[in-house]
Every structure is written in structure tokens, then in C-alpha cells.
């Protein structure tokens, strides 16, 4: 959908339902719907509570006189011991299929780059599924490079529980 007017804004507590809907949208796209355990309550607690663990931007279009969220970027900060600077970590960037090609994804990505620079980040990082060629092409077209020689590892909840169990 080309030539769609949109706006970007920082997500706030009342956006928890829209964020959850968009999270379900990216999970469906990534063929991981069965893995979504997130809830509105968790989003409120972890994004807008006393100690926020993430921030998010919403991309909205005007529909029937009201702004409707059709895209989001969820991010947080890590710290690089090598650069001595924070890094902006992009957890998810998603645009509903009907609005791809409208420029809203690029606008979100550029806004994140601006935020990273504004906050003194030495870099911006994210992971991409190997099969997601459109996303890889998008990121490479904007100057991103794959990290050669690095593989992502993960401890899930069960592994964490085993490691944290009394000996």
C-alpha cells in the first residue's frame, strides 16, 4: 500500500492491547504463533511499570477518523564492554502485510537509528531469521552487516531453572 499517510509515536501504557496484537502478528509471520505467552498485563508491567525493560514505537495510520496501530518496533538497551557505550537492541520490527511498502517500516528503522545516536549508543543490533530474505534485504540496503562468526545461544526457562537449582 503506497502513499499511506502515517505517524510514529512512542507507545504508552494504554497501547498494551495494540502491542500484543502486533506481537501476535509478527509471531504469525515468523511461524511461531504457538510460542507467544505474552499478555497485556506482562506488557504493562515490563514496559510501563516501575522498572521498564523495553520501549516501543508504534506506526499508525488514520482509519475512519481514528489512528490505528499497524506497525511497531520494540527495543531495549544493552552495554558493550568493548566500546564502553550502550547499544540499542531491536527485538522486533513489524509492519502488518497490508501496509508494507508504505514507508512505515523504514520510518521506524530510521527513528530507531536516531534514538540510538541521540542516546549515545555505539551500535544498534538485532537478530533476523535466516529464511526472512525480505527483512535481510531491507537491513542490508540500509547499511547493516551480518556478524560473521557469531551464533546466538539461548537458555530457556527450563534451562535457567536447572542452572538455578540448589546443588
One-character DSSP codes across 42-82: HHHHHHHSSS---EEEEEEEEETTEEEEEEEEEEEEEEETT
Q: Residue 2 has what pLDDT?
A: 53
Indicate the number of domains in the chain.
Answer: 1
48: left (phi > 0), else alpha (psi -120 to 50), else beta?
Answer: alpha
> Residue 1: inside a domain, yes or no?
no
Which entry of 75, 89, 139, 153 is annotated as an active-site residue? 139
Domain for residue 49, yes or no? Answer: yes
Asked if residue 87 is part of any domain, the answer here is yes
CA distance 63 to 124: 32
Under 8 Å between Cβ of 30 and 67: no
Task: Please report whether residue 63 resides in a domain.
Answer: yes
Q: What is the pLDDT of residue 126?
A: 96
Could you tell me if residue 29 is inside a domain? Answer: yes
Note if 153 is an active site residue: no
Instruction: Output the domain CATH number for residue 77.
Output: 3.40.630.30
pTM: 0.92
Domain extent for 116 = 6-164
- Chain-centroid distance of CA 13 in Å reads 17
Residue 85 within any structural domain of the chain: yes
Residues 13-47: pLDDT tens digits?
999 999 999 999 999 999 999 999 999 999 999 99
Distance, CA of 20 to CA of 62 (rounded, Å): 20
pLDDT given for residue 157 in this prediction = 87
**What residue ranges of the chain have pLDDT lower than 50?**
1
Q: Residue for cell digits 499508525?
A: 60
Amino acid at each position: 500500500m503506497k502513499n499511506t499517510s502515517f505517524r510514529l509515536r512512542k507507545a504508552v501504557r494504554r497501547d498494551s492491547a495494540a502491542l500484543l496484537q502486533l506481537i501476535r502478528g509478527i509471531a504469525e509471520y515468523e511461524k511461531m504463533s504457538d510460542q507467544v505467552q505474552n499478555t497485556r498485563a506482562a506488557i504493562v508491567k515490563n514496559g510501563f511499570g516501575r522498572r521498564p525493560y523495553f520501549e516501543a514505537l508504534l506506526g499508525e495510520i488514520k482509519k475512519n477518523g481514528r489512528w490505528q496501530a499497524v506497525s511497531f518496533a520494540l527495543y531495549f538497551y544493552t552495554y558493550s564492554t568493548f566500546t564502553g557505550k550502550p547499544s540499542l537492541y531491536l527485538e522486533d520490527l513489524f509492519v502488518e502485510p497490508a501496509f508494507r511498502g508504505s514507508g512505515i517500516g523504514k520510518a521506524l528503522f530510521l527513528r530507531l537509528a536516531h534514538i540510538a545516536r541521540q542516546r549515545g549508543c555505539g551500535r544498534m543490533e538485532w537478530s533476523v531469521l535466516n529464511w526472512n530474505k525480505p527483512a535481510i534485504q531491507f537491513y542490508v540496503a540500509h547499511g547493516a552487516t551480518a556478524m560473521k562468526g557469531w551464533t546466538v545461544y539461548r537458555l530457556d526457562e527450563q534451562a535457567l531453572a536447572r542452572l538455578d537449582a540448589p546443588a
